[in-house]
Chains A and B, each alone.
Chain A
């Protein structure tokens, strides 16, 4: 996985609450066998009209944000379905960082699995930063800055190192193979019906 250290670029504000994964990537685009190519369908039902034309008022259709690399969202971002197509669509569009006051669990996990940094900041800070066209996210320093303002964010150390080092999570778990095998031996004794 591509490591994540710092990121600078356009930060698109979409400050509504409960941006669910159905909104991020509608179900008709889940019928894919690959992880790539979903960027043009990101937010499809609000980004395009029913004729497939761009809606000029939607943030990602505005000139300043067509190349957005950061997305600012409201609370409970990514709620709903477990579809990893949501972070795949963000990534394919070019967004590598989401900044929101809170996240749904599964989406949050899915971001880290794809090298996307979900930053948690209070809504007031996000509203403050939303007036800046471009932001810089510094993961090692745990800060988001723009227009002379800077906010520090918290992140679990294990999550941080996953991104900074670009770790392969499966490889890390497979390094624990002896522990997995030992567990399986214990399990065969303790709960043989499983």
Chain B
């Protein structure tokens, strides 16, 4: 450990300190605030009731993503309650002069997809949103975390949040990610290793050769899932991959400001010799595709694995929890994951709804057909992802294979719209949570990568996607 050496997290934290209070809490400045229709209405209402102004409307970017149909954009087709929530956001952004991407705009999409696309998310900044997957933006070396609605109101009114400094954790993925695997496999593997509360109280910095080799899309997937490990936030130090992605985006700095920003961003990576409260190192060169079997993301095995036996658990509470998960999921101990048939496949979400995810799934779908009895949805994360995918002909590949090609939105990740998994159905999903009821009442969700989801769609059961890729 070198005295004075700081982590990336510490640098962002210190540069955003407004004040430290006598009680030990700190007031942290918030640069960027993403807003969507579900967690904001009560915050706007709170401002109105207290007659407080919104301090910096220009620090906000608002969009509608959770409630909307992915079949069409007609509000008449929405449930009444969804329509009211959509209308409330439109009214609120107008009343408070908040920058807003309209529903019919090509730039509309999932809040965590559009922020980066627009250059709204920048290295070294603080980013919040009333959504736990705000951790996604940490891929840029931004301190990004989800907040509740009261905190949304707090940021509206003050542009700050009272915070406590988290601990530093570093997770190093060393080696080379094998062909057919992706950042999703890294994320699921990690949660399997450290558990859903393994990151609690920590900000996780992802490092190592396998992380440096990831695209921005991959880094976003990894940071997105850091909340599923319980972490306050995930971070990847900015580098050339980051700068290349950000350059030229509509809301990114340009000209002399770009040069100034770039020089600053290059000062952000963790100093040599900085200490971490916890560190994990994994060699992932031999990693196999990951599939969850239970009702939280730590219940994961690789595709060659079997449904575990609760009887093997020594802790009675653990045994009971495993048995409850197996009952809910309709699984028998010892069943190979590869033998489980699926009825629904969902490719999309803030975890895996980006262009690289579309490409990975299309590569598997190309020239194949969705298996009989399987309903397969591809939901691009934004209008821009959709447009890019269509320019590359990916929509044709999906449609010819029998997938549905939908409009952008959160969709079946949480089923706030009409994209739901029916009771008892088994789904292969590229989303982030396999909680009971998440994709629909009694829905049985297995989390996988986009390539693995596509493989399940075309074979009708979980399949090691590498076998499908080898025969090409």
Contacts and interface: CB of A to CB of B under 8 A. Distances in A.
Interface of A: 15-18, 20, 22-23, 26-28, 30-35, 45-46, 50, 74-76, 79-84, 87, 102, 104-106, 109-110, 113-114, 123, 156-158, 161, 169-170, 172-174, 176, 179-180, 183-184, 187, 190-194
A158 B162 CA distance: 11
Contacts of A50: 423, 441-442
Contacts, number: 183
Interface in B413-472: 414-416, 423, 433, 435-438, 441-442
Nearest to A173: B158
A46 to B, nearest CB: 8
B42 A179 contact: no
B283 interface: no
Contacts of B18: 176, 179-180, 183
19 contacts: A15-B317, A23-B435, A23-B437, A27-B416, A30-B416, A31-B67, A81-B131, A82-B147, A83-B38, A102-B200, A104-B200, A106-B132, A109-B151, A169-B150, A170-B153, A173-B158, A180-B18, A187-B29, A193-B261
Contacts of A75: 197
A104 B197 contact: yes
Given A22-B438, A179-B19, A34 B151 contact: no
Given A17-B321, A191-B264, A76 B200 contact: yes
Nearest to A113: B150
B230 interface: yes
Nearest to B18: A183
A16 B327 CA distance: 15
Contacts of A32: 41, 81, 85
Contacts of A23: 435-437
B197 A114 contact: no
Given A20-B296, A194-B125, A84 B415 contact: no
Interface residues on B, range: 35 or more
Nearest to A109: B148
A105 B125 contact: no
B24 interface: yes
Contacts of A176: 18-19, 27, 160
B197 A22 contact: no
Interface string B67-96: 100000000000101101100100000000
Given A31-B38, A106-B132, A161 B23 contact: yes
B435 A80 contact: yes
B437 A22 contact: yes
B209 interface: no
A164 to B, nearest CB: 13
B158 A180 contact: yes
A106 B200 contact: no
A74 B317 contact: yes
B52 interface: yes
Nearest to A181: B18
Given A75-B197, A84-B150, A158 B39 contact: no
Contact of A80 (B154, B159, B257, B433): B433
Contact of B154 (A16, A30, A102, A169): A169
A186 to B, nearest CB: 10
Interface in B114-145: 122, 124-125, 130-132, 134, 145
Given A31-B81, A76-B197, A79-B196, A114 B150 contact: yes
Contacts of A114: 150
B253 interface: yes
Contact of B324 (A16, A33, A174): A16
A108 B163 CA distance: 12
B85 A33 contact: yes
Contacts of B442: 50
